[in-house]
């Protein structure tokens, strides 16, 4: 019986790490053992400035007492309760609180446990919505090149990151992709939304013409593509997508797993851009990353299509064991309280110009070929080493970690999305250290 075996603390073999170069990591592990506010503590006692809010999720910073206490209280009081045919008050309270800060028109919340599950839920809801309205032929889904919608089968099917798709077979049938909106040479070093590229939304008309609107259920896009390297929507692009989807009775889903909860200086990107979709997927900042939780918000129109038939019947055959988990919901409420009490969305908005200037001051630094930003998110794109894509940015990540800052890389792009509690000296430290790293890099 091995339950009492105590593995050696340096035995790293069993954990197969996600999205990680496991062989490299296990030779030179980067272990985080503590966190407070803007910093991680490493196993060797160093402080690392968190330039990425964990994985774009700890928007209020780390180990915030209000959230910690809410979790502790809840786990001692009601640790788990089913959400199938049962309920508990705080899941309802959180749903109402979410709708209070959501874009006008959002009316209902379906809980999940992650961004990937939120995406699967929204895609399934879209297809089932049309069926509930007697439009069962509308099953096609449209995503976008370079889109990231998590790692489940629906998400990688509508997603457009080649490396996340190519090992996994034929994926979902009936999916098309809009072109991405990254136009090198046309929008380089743009501050905020780029000028060029709104017309790329018109590709949707081409796809509609090819298949017929009566076969298309939904379009899903990140209003600002995060994981693929902070690609901002060209001016007018989202408005056009909204107009075309509306014209053809196609649902529009915004994947706000990164952009939700203040990242762009509004509660949601939909508000920032003034374009309201039919559904919004969220996760990450919903609980400040503390407890896994996601949510899909829908309009009344989407929800109400399901509320037909005899009352005792289940309306939607979908849900998760942990949907609306009480501990996660308590974390969510305390997180929303923290955002409100500390004015963190407003803070992100107010700091955005300083962040923008600091990032764009990197123009002219070695290897830098583009810089993009909005709210408190930004990307610095590096010239790839010929024949060795991703290597330069990954080296920058390793060096930055040695020098005490956490950045994230995707391809040859360095992405940063600090907790919204960051201050100006910390922005200077983040960007200044990155400059030193890049100048010293081969
Ligand atoms: N959608 C978007 C836009 C994301 O950025 C992410 C995560 N980075 C996901 C979905 C997936 O979220 P999770 O990792 O929680 O499944």
Work out which ligand 1 atom sits closest to the CA atom of 294. 15
Tokens of 46: 């160093």
Kindly state whether residue 14 falls inside one of the protein's structural domains: no
Shared domain for 410 and 426, answered yes or no, is yes
Shared domain for 281 and 423, answered yes or no, is no
Q: Is the CB of 228 under 6 A from ligand 1?
A: no
Q: How many angstroms separate the alpha carbon of residue 284 from the centre of ligand 1?
A: 8
Kindly state whether residue 10 falls inside one of the protein's structural domains: no
Q: How many angstroms separate the alpha carbon of residue 74 from the centre of ligand 1?
A: 26
Q: How many angstroms separate the alpha carbon of residue 217 from the centre of ligand 1?
A: 21
DSSP-derived secondary structure for 199-232: GGGGHHHHHHHHH-GGGEEEEEE-SSB-TTT-BP
Which CATH number covers residue 227?
3.40.640.10
Which residue do the tokens 């259920």 mark? 217
Please give the Cα distance from 212 to 248 (Å, whole number): 9
Q: Is the CB of 414 under 6 A from ligand 1?
A: no
Shared domain for 52 and 92, answered yes or no, is no
Work out which ligand 1 atom sits closest to the CA atom of 118. 10
Work out which ligand 1 atom sits closest to the CA atom of 116. 16
Shared domain for 325 and 374, answered yes or no, is no
Boundary of a domain, candidates 323, 341, 359: 341
Kindly state whether residue 318 falls inside one of the protein's structural domains: yes
Classify each residue of 163-195 as buried b or exposed e, where b means 16 or more C-beta atoms within 10 Å of its C-beta: ebeeeeeeebeebbbbebbbbeeebeebbebbe
3-class state of residue 439 by DSSP:
helix
Instruction: Give backbone dihedrals phi and psi of 393, rounded to 5 degrees, phi first.
Output: -65, -40
Residue 221: CB atoms within 10 A of its CB come to 26
Q: Please state, in angstroms and as integers, the Cα–Cα distance from residue 208 to each residue in 126, 133, 245, following that order.
A: 17, 20, 10
Tokens of 244: 């075309």
Shared domain for 224 and 281, answered yes or no, is yes
Domain that holds residue 358: 22-60+344-439
The reported pLDDT for the residue numbered 433 is 98
The reported pLDDT for the residue numbered 306 is 98
Shared domain for 257 and 144, answered yes or no, is yes
Best residue among 258, 260, 270, 291 to mutate for probing ligand 1, ranked by most atoms within 8 Å of CB: 258
Shared domain for 121 and 212, answered yes or no, is yes
Boundary of a domain, candidates 295, 314, 341: 341
The reported pLDDT for the residue numbered 132 is 98
Please give the Cα distance from 353 to 344 (Å, whole number): 15
Please give the Cα distance from 280 to 121 (Å, whole number): 11
Shared domain for 397 and 259, answered yes or no, is no
3-class state of residue 376 by DSSP:
coil
Shared domain for 378 and 348, answered yes or no, is yes
Instruction: Give backbone dihedrals phi and psi of 278, rounded to 5 degrees, phi first.
Output: -90, -25
Beta strand 47-50 pairing with 39-42: antiparallel
Shared domain for 84 and 47, answered yes or no, is no
Shared domain for 215 and 362, answered yes or no, is no
Q: Is the CB of 408 under 6 A from ligand 1?
A: no
The reported pLDDT for the residue numbered 226 is 96
Q: Of 296, 292, 269, whose CA–CA distance to 281 is shortest?
A: 296
Beta strand 294-299 pairing with 279-282: antiparallel
The reported pLDDT for the residue numbered 1 is 58
Kindly state whether residue 168 falls inside one of the protein's structural domains: yes
The reported pLDDT for the residue numbered 9 is 78
Please give the Cα distance from 257 to 229 (Å, whole number): 15
Domain count, the chain: 2
User: Using CB atoms within 10 A of its CB, is residue 313 exposed (0-12), middle (13-18) or buried (19+)?
Assistant: exposed
Kindly state whether residue 1 falls inside one of the protein's structural domains: no
Consecutive 10-residue runs of the chain (442 residues): their mean pLDDT? 81 96 95 98 98 98 98 98 96 98 98 98 98 98 98 98 97 98 97 98 98 98 97 98 98 99 98 98 98 98 96 97 98 98 98 98 98 98 96 97 98 98 98 98 93
Q: Is the CB of 147 under 6 A from ligand 1?
A: no
Kindly state whether residue 4 falls inside one of the protein's structural domains: no
Which CATH number covers residue 381?
3.90.1150.10
Shared domain for 349 and 426, answered yes or no, is yes
Boundary of a domain, candidates 291, 318, 341: 341
Work out which ligand 1 atom sits closest to the CA atom of 227. 5
Q: Model-level pTM greater than 0.90? A: yes
Kindly state whether residue 9 falls inside one of the protein's structural domains: no
């Amino acid at each position: 019986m091995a339950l009492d075996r105590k593995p050696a603390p340096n035995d790293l073999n069993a954990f197969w790490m996600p999205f990680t170069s496991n062989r490299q990591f296990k030779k030179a592990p980067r272990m985080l053992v503590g966190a407070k506010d803007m910093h991680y503590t490493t196993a060797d006692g160093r402080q690392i400035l968190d330039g990425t809010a964990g994985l774009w999720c700890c928007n209020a910073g780390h180990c915030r007492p209000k959230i910690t206490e809410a979790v502790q209280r809840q786990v001692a009081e009601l640790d788990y309760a089913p959400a199938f045919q049962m309920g508990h008050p705080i899941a309802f309270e959180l749903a109402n609180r979410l709708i209070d800060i959501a874009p006008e028109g959002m009316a209902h919340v379906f809980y999940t446990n992650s961004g990937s599950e939120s995406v699967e839920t929204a895609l399934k809801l879209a297809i089932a919505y049309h069926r509930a309205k007697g439009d069962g032929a509308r099953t096609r889904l449209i995503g976008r090149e370079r889109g990231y919608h998590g790692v489940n089968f629906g998400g990688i099917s509508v997603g457009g990151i080649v490396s996340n798709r190519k090992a996994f077979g034929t994926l979902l049938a009936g999916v098309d992709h809009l072109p991405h909106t990254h136009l090198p040479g046309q929008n380089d070093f743009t501050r905020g939304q780029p000028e060029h590229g709104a017309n790329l939304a018109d590709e949707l008309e081409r796809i509609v013409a090819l298949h017929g609107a009566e076969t298309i259920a939904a379009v899903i896009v990140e209003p600002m593509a995060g994981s693929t390297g902070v690609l901002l929507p060209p001016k007018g692009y989202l408005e056009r997508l909204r107009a075309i989807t509306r014209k053809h009775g196609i649902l529009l889903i915004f994947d706000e797993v990164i952009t939700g909860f203040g990242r762009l200086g509004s509660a949601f990107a939909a508000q920032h851009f003034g374009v309201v979709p039919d559904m919004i997927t969220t996760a990450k900042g919903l609980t400040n990353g503390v407890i896994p939780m996601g949510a899909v918000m829908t309009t009344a129109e989407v929800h109400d299509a399901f509320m037909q038939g005899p009352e005792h019947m289940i309306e939607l055959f979908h849900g998760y064991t942990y949907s609306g988990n009480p501990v996660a919901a308590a974390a969510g409420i305390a997180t929303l309280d923290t955002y409100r009490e500390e004015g963190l969305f407003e803070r992100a908005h107010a700091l955005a110009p300083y962040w923008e200037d600091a990032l764009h001051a990197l123009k002219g630094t070695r290897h830098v070929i583009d810089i993009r930003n909005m709210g408190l998110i930004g990307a610095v794109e590096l010239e790839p080493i010929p024949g060795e894509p991703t290597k330069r940015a990954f080296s920058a990540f390793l060096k930055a970690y040695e020098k005490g800052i956490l950045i994230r890389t995707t391809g040859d792009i360095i992405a940063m999305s600090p907790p919204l509690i960051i201050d100006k000296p910390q922005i200077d430290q983040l960007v200044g250290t990155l400059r030193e790293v890049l100048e010293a890099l081969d």
